[in-house]
């Protein structure tokens, strides 16, 4: 029986998340025998570190429901990780574990009655989650010349009209979709505005440890009383499909943690037990972690820099990424040529590119950009991460990788980049 009329109004008309939809579309096309370059879904290409996989193996027998907030040794390990990697003080009591940070971000929006403030562009799921939870979304305009980052002035001008309004601001850095991050001075200025208007600041640091220079800084250091750090295993540890996310709360927001734990107890109960035990190994880290992060960052940096340069040399503008595995590209200088082909929106652009070249990328409108702007996100993850890691570990010690690495380990990425530039230039 299907009766759309009875669907909850908050859900009616929503489509499946763009990231997951493009992945399924690519898999269908591949099954039909087509050559597809999967630059749509943003998932880490690297294997989960052996030590963490081994820990999961050892814990496969863990079968009990765990505490709603998460295993206490895991929460302790995360507090240690926060101190070591982010220089942020926290304790096990400040931490909530969930089946992915995505679920935690949603539950936060459900329990906290406030507007959602996000810069445009932002990750695809924040706004639909707000809609499902019946929250207003305010997209803060950004400037391309500032690599589409949230500026303290714009945040201030949004908040000052109604200073006491309850708000959640999500700041994600390194950013999905741009790969760019914020210098510390900017974080401090943003923290000042957040403090002035007492916003709940969700610092989405899921890509923090992928920052190429290894120098990711958390805004929680500058607005400790109002910042929730959102993180997890999905990106730096290559374990998106394991579904484990973490929220670290300031002491002052304990009431919010408690409210989220109530919803967790009535919905997902607790995160998978074997995964939580394995996550202890991941967050405790060790020598293997430094090695893994060193090589994965170096690989992503080489690909990201090369890809951005390739696009820029063809007048497709994209800022040089600083972390994560994304580029946000502006095809605007080809607007006239593309419009002669019937391409007027970022969706048209991505559909035509996929149909004509097999390269799958996501349109800027999925990230909250004006549909008429010809922007798109490129997830440069279409390579064998294990092979790339082996190559990097064997061949080089200190220096950066070079084009030979790309030609050996990333042939599909190089082909996809060439297809994007050739197709655009010849359109
Ligand atoms: N935030 C951002 C910016 C993301 O790209 C993602 C996608 N993985 C998430 C949050 C959610 O990650 P997860 O649910 O896998 O922890
Ligand atoms: N965050 C990833 C992306 O932006 C995919 C996972 C997801 O959206 O849940 O592509």
Place of tokens 């996550």: 279
- 290 alpha carbon – ligand 2 mean position (Å): 25
DSSP code at position 322: -
What per-residue confidence (pLDDT) applies to 2?
Answer: 60
Residue 374: pLDDT band by 50, 70, 90 thresholds? very high
Furthest CA-CA distance within the chain: 61
Do β-strands 227-232 and 245-248 pair in parallel, antiparallel, or remain unpaired? Answer: antiparallel
For the chain, domains (ranges, CATH) are 18-47+288-425 (3.90.1150.10), 50-286 (3.40.640.10)
Verify whether ligand 1 is closer than 6 Å to residue 176 (CB atom). Answer: yes
Place of tokens 């074997």: 274
**Binding-site residues, ligand 2, Cβ < 6 A:** 17, 19, 41-43, 102, 123, 125, 176
Share of the chain above pLDDT 70, in %: 99
Q: Give the residue-averaged pLDDT of 17-35.
A: 95
What per-residue confidence (pLDDT) applies to 3?
Answer: 64
What per-residue confidence (pLDDT) applies to 399?
Answer: 79
Ligand 1: atom nearest CA of 175 is: 3
Ligand nearest to the backbone CA of 105? 1
Q: How many CA atoms lie within 13 A of 371 on its CB side?
A: 5
Taking 60 as the threshold, does the pLDDT of residue 1 lie above it?
no
Q: Give the residue-averaged pLDDT of 43-53.
A: 98
Cis preceding linkage at 416, omega within 30: no
What per-residue confidence (pLDDT) applies to 398?
Answer: 67
User: Which of the listed residues 43, 45, 101 should we mutate to test ligand 1's pocket, taking the one with most ligand atoms within 8 A of CB?
Assistant: 101
- The candidate with the shortest Cα–Cα distance to 94, out of 223, 292, 247, is 247
- 360 alpha carbon – ligand 2 mean position (Å): 14
What per-residue confidence (pLDDT) applies to 400?
Answer: 83
Residues 6+ positions from 305 with CB-CB distance below 8 Å:
320, 321
Share of the chain above pLDDT 90, in %: 94
Tens of pLDDT along 57-101? 999 999 999 999 999 999 999 999 999 999 999 999 999 999 999
Tokens of 16: 């499946």
Residue 341: pLDDT band by 50, 70, 90 thresholds? very high
Tens of pLDDT along 143-161? 999 999 999 999 999 999 9
Tens of pLDDT along 171-213? 999 999 999 999 999 999 999 999 999 999 999 999 999 999 9
What per-residue confidence (pLDDT) applies to 50?
Answer: 97
Helix H or strand E segment including 377: strand 375-379
- Angle subtended at Cα 348 by Cα 374 and Cα 20, rounded to the nearest 5 degrees: 95
Verify whether ligand 1 is closer than 6 Å to residue 109 (CB atom). Answer: no
- 342 alpha carbon – ligand 1 mean position (Å): 34
- Report the interhelical angle of 411-425 vs 346-357 (nearest 10°): 120
Q: Give the residue-averaged pLDDT of 333-346.
A: 97
Cis preceding linkage at 121, omega within 30: yes
What per-residue confidence (pLDDT) applies to 140?
Answer: 97
Q: Give the residue-averaged pLDDT of 127-140.
A: 97
Cβ 346 vs Cβ 369: under 8 Å: yes
- 14 alpha carbon – ligand 1 mean position (Å): 19
Atom 7 of ligand 2: nearest residue by CA position: 19
Verify whether ligand 1 is closer than 6 Å to residue 44 (CB atom). Answer: no
Verify whether ligand 1 is closer than 6 Å to residue 368 (CB atom). Answer: no
Q: Phi, psi at residue 295, to the nearest 5°?
A: -75, -40
Taking 60 as the threshold, does the pLDDT of residue 24 lie above it?
yes
Place of tokens 């380990």: 409
To the nearest whole number, what is the mean pLDDT of the chain?
Answer: 96
Ligand nearest to the backbone CA of 379? 2
Q: Give the residue-averaged pLDDT of 36-58.
A: 98
Q: How far is the CA of 140 from the CAs of 118, 157, 191, 236, in angstroms?
A: 6, 10, 16, 28
- 61 alpha carbon – ligand 1 mean position (Å): 28
Ligand 2: atom nearest CA of 362 is: 10
Ligand nearest to the backbone CA of 176? 1
Verify whether ligand 1 is closer than 6 Å to residue 172 (CB atom). Answer: yes
What per-residue confidence (pLDDT) applies to 254?
Answer: 98
Tokens of 407: 């030609």
Q: Give the residue-averaged pLDDT of 279-302.
A: 96
Atom 8 of ligand 2: nearest residue by CA position: 19
Place of tokens 């035990």: 277
């Amino acid at each position: 029986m299907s009766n759309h009329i009875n669907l909850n109004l908050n859900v009616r008309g929503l489509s499946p998340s763009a990231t997951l939809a493009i992945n399924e579309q690519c898999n269908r096309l591949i099954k039909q025998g087509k050559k597809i370059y999967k630059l749509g879904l943003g998932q880490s290409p690297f294997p989960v570190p052996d030590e963490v996989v081994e820990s999961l193996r050892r814990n496969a027998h863990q079968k009990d429901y765990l505490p709603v907030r998460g295993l206490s040794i895991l929460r302790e390990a995360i507090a240690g990780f926060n101190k070591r990697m982010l220089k942020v003080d926290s304790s096990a009591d400040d931490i909530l574990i969930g089946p992915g940070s995505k679920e935690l971000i949603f539950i936060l929006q459900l329990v906290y009655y406030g507007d959602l403030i996000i810069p445009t562009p932002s990750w695809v799921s924040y706004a639909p989650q707000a809609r499902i939870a019946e929250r207003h979304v305010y997209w803060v305009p950004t400037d391309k010349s500032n690599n589409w980052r949230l500026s303290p002035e714009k945040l201030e001008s949004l908040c000052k009209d109604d200073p006491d309004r309850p708000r959640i601001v999500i700041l994600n850095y390194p950013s999905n979709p741009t790969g760019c991050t914020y210098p510390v001075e900017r974080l401090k200025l943003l923290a000042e505005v957040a403090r002035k208007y007492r916003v709940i600041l969700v610092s989405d640091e899921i890509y923090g440890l992928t920052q190429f220079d290894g120098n990711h800084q958390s805004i929680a250091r500058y607005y400790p009383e109002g910042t929730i750090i959102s993180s997890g295993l999905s990106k730096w540890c290559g374990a998106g499909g394991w579904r484990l996310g973490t929220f670290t709360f300031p002491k002052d927001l304990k009431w919010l943690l408690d409210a989220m734990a109530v919803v967790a107890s009535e919905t997902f109960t607790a995160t998978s037990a074997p995964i939580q035990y394995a996550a202890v190994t991941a967050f405790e880290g060790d020598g293997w972690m430094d090695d893994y992060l060193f090589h994965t960052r170096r690989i992503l940096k080489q690909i990201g820099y090369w890809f951005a340069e390739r696009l820029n040399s063809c007048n497709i503008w994209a800022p040089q990424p600083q972390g994560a595995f994304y580029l946000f590209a502006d095809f605007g200088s080809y607007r006239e040529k593309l419009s002669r082909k019937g391409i007027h929106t970022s969706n048209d652009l991505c559909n035509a590119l996929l149909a004509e070249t097999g390269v799958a990328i996501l349109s800027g409108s999925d990230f909250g950009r004006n549909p008429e702007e010809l922007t798109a996100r490129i997830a440069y993850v279409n390579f064998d991460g294990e092979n790339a890691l082996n190559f990097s570990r064997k061949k080089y010690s200190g220096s950066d990788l070079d084009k030979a690495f790309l030609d050996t380990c990333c042939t599909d990425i190089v082909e996809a980049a060439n297809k994007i530039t050739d197709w655009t230039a010849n359109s």
